[in-house]
């Protein structure tokens, strides 16, 4: 599990103790999207956090354990919602295609 | 001109004033590197931490330093200052409140900030911007819009306290927003009697503000009696500046203060009351 990132930033050096990480990468036609925004909504749909995607289309949240919705906003694309479960001490990694 | 029109401009208004020397665009971000990558043409930058915080004490720069800062950035007293930034204008709203605190006459916020501008695919440029220096004169801080801890403690059960953080921060399940490492205050929770009205409920997904009717309904629905004095707080005072802007500048409510000490102060104070859980 440790360091086994598929889409999100490398977890090397990340202190996962006490953290439930939700991260990933946003892709369009297979290419990373560097000008997107990713919102984290809680189980009630309430906004919790938002980050711009990095130059490599990646994002990361330090969440609490539980169910979350990851909402992706990208220029000239429909909004994409993805459901994810965050677990203490683990990294939930997503690939979001817009 | 309505209160809202005086305080808030949209992207079309900004584009039509890009070559107006009397309109100064100012980008204020949490991620201060965003400006270096690109910005709206002609915009200067303010670093909310380096420029707006005292380098030693936890407080704002004093009047003389604020005057020196704005003079150096080429902002004049009679300029129209239009603030915008990332994170749904959190720090731009904070700077708006800060400019108002020091008495700038004409300050406005770009609705939706940098995010809406980017999502609309409007032009951003990497050019270095230099404006000729000015001689800026600030006023004394307007303490009618800034609350300190003793006033907040006295307000428990007396005035409206509005906690604008996320429900998880309010309840004590998280200490900080979920995109930041968990650190800061000693204890989680909220100030007893505070209503939880997350700043985000005042904004649309693209960062623009909801309509006045929607906003009035939002606060009424959370039991915030706007006929009473209100103090808003969050973690470090930036999200609550966003809510101060909504209540004071869009809805035109007098007697609204921002408690910029916010949870990083309250959650570290010895002996003050704290409530845990989802109820006030």
pTM above 0.80, yes or no: yes
Same domain membership, residue B176 and residue B225: yes
Same domain membership, residue B150 and residue B123: no
B16 — pLDDT class (breaks 50, 70, 90): very high
DSSP three-state, residue B181: coil
B2 — pLDDT class (breaks 50, 70, 90): confident
In a domain, B208, yes or no: yes
Q: ipTM strictly over 0.95?
A: no
The residue from B115, B141, B167 where one domain ends is: B141
Same domain membership, residue B195 and residue B94: no
The residue from B141, B159, B182 where one domain ends is: B141
In a domain, B275, yes or no: no
Average pLDDT over residues B53-67: 96
In a domain, B260, yes or no: yes
Same domain membership, residue B122 and residue B171: no
Q: Does A88 touch chain B (CB under 8 A)?
A: no
Angstrom distance (rounded) from CA B210 to CA B218: 10
Average pLDDT over residues B137-161: 97
CB contact under 8 A, B179 and A47: no
Same domain membership, residue B136 and residue B20: yes
Here the tokens at position B136 are 């800026």
CATH number at residue B248: 3.40.250.10
Q: Show which residues of B are catalytic.
A: 234
B-chain residues within 8 Å CB-CB of A35? 118
Shortest CA gap A50–chain B (Å): 7
How far lies B94's CA from each of B107, B109, B182, B233, B239, in Å? 12, 10, 22, 12, 8
Per the structure, how many domains does chain B have? 2
The residue from B141, B171, B187 where one domain ends is: B141
Which among B88, B115, B182 has the least Cβ separation from residue A62? B182
How far lies B65's CA from each of B50, B84, B138, B140, B158, in Å? 12, 22, 10, 12, 36
How far lies B175's CA from each of B88, B181, B250, B279, in Å? 20, 9, 29, 17
Same domain membership, residue B7 and residue B135: yes
Same domain membership, residue B230 and residue B196: yes
pLDDT for B184 equals: 74
pLDDT for A4 equals: 40
A-chain residues within 8 Å CB-CB of B166? 42, 46-49
In contact, A8 and A58? CB cutoff 8 Å:
yes
Domain that holds residue B92: 3-141
pLDDT for A1 equals: 37
Structural domains in chain A plus CATH codes: 20-87 (2.60.40.10)
Same domain membership, residue B155 and residue B25: no
In a domain, B154, yes or no: yes
Angstrom distance (rounded) from CA B241 to CA B243: 5
pLDDT value at B226 more than 60: yes
Cα angle A28-A31-A36, degrees, rounded to a multiple of 5: 60
B177 — pLDDT class (breaks 50, 70, 90): confident
pLDDT for A3 equals: 40
Same domain membership, residue B244 and residue B180: yes
Phi, psi of A72, rounded to the nearest 5 degrees = -110, 125
In a domain, B272, yes or no: no
Same domain membership, residue B200 and residue B131: no
In a domain, B124, yes or no: yes
In a domain, B113, yes or no: yes
A41 — pLDDT class (breaks 50, 70, 90): very high
Interface test with A, best of B177, B178, B210, B238 (most A CBs within 10 A): B178
**B261 vs A48 pLDDT, higher one:** B261
pLDDT value at B180 more than 70: no
pLDDT value at B139 more than 50: yes
Same domain membership, residue B185 and residue B81: no
pLDDT value at A5 more than 70: no
CB neighbours of residue A13 within 10 Å:
6
In a domain, B190, yes or no: yes
pLDDT value at A34 more than 80: yes
Percent of chain B with pLDDT over 70: 98
Average pLDDT over residues B61-65: 97
A-chain residues within 8 Å CB-CB of B178? 40, 48-49, 61-64
Same domain membership, residue B256 and residue B170: yes
pLDDT value at A50 more than 70: yes
pLDDT value at A57 more than 60: yes
Here the tokens at position B149 are 């801890």
Which among B115, B180, B206 has the least Cβ separation from residue A62? B180
């Amino acid at each position: 599990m440790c360091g086994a990132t598929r889409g999100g930033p490398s977890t090397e050096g990340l202190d996962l103790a006490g953290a439930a990480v939700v991260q990933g990468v946003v892709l369009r036609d297979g290419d990373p999207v560097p000008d997107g925004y990713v919102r984290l909504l809680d189980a009630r749909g309430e906004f919790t956090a938002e980050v711009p995607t990095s130059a490599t289309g990646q994002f990361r949240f330090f969440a609490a354990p539980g169910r979350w919705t990851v909402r992706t906003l990208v220029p000239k694309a429909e909004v994409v919602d993805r459901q994810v479960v965050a677990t203490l001490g683990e990294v939930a990694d997503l690939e979001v295609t817009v | 001109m309505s209160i809202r029109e005086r305080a808030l401009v949209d992207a079309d208004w900004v584009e039509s004033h890009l070559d107006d020397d009397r309109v100064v665009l100012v980008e204020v971000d949490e991620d201060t590197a965003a400006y270096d990558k690109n910005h709206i043409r002609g915009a200067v930058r303010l670093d909310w931490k380096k420029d707006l915080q005292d380098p030693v004490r936890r407080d704002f720069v004093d009047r003389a330093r604020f005057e020196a800062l704005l003079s150096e950035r080429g902002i004049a007293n009679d300029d129209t200052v239009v603030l915008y930034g990332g994170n749904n204008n959190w720090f731009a709203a904070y700077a708006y409140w800060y400019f108002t605190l020091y008495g700038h006459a004409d300050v406005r916020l770009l609705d939706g900030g940098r995010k809406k501008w980017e999502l609309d695919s409007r032009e951003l440029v990497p050019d270095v911007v230099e404006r000729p220096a000015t001689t800026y004169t600030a006023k004394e801080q307007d303490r009618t819009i800034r609350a300190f801890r003793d006033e907040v403690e006295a307000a428990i059960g007396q005035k409206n306290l509005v906690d604008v953080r996320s429900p998880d921060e309010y309840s004590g399940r998280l200490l900080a927003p979920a995109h930041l490492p968990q650190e800061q205050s000693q204890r989680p929770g909220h100030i007893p009697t505070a209503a939880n009205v997350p700043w985000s409920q005042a904004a649309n997904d693209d960062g623009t503000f909801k309509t006045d009717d929607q906003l009035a309904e939002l606060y009424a629905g959370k039991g915030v009696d706007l006929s009473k004095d209100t103090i808003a707080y969050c973690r470090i005072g930036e999200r609550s500046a966003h809510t101060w802007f909504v209540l004071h500048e869009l809805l035109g409510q007098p007697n609204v203060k921002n408690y910029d000490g916010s949870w990083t102060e309250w959650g570290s104070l010895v002996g003050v009351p704290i409530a845990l859980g989802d109820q006030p």
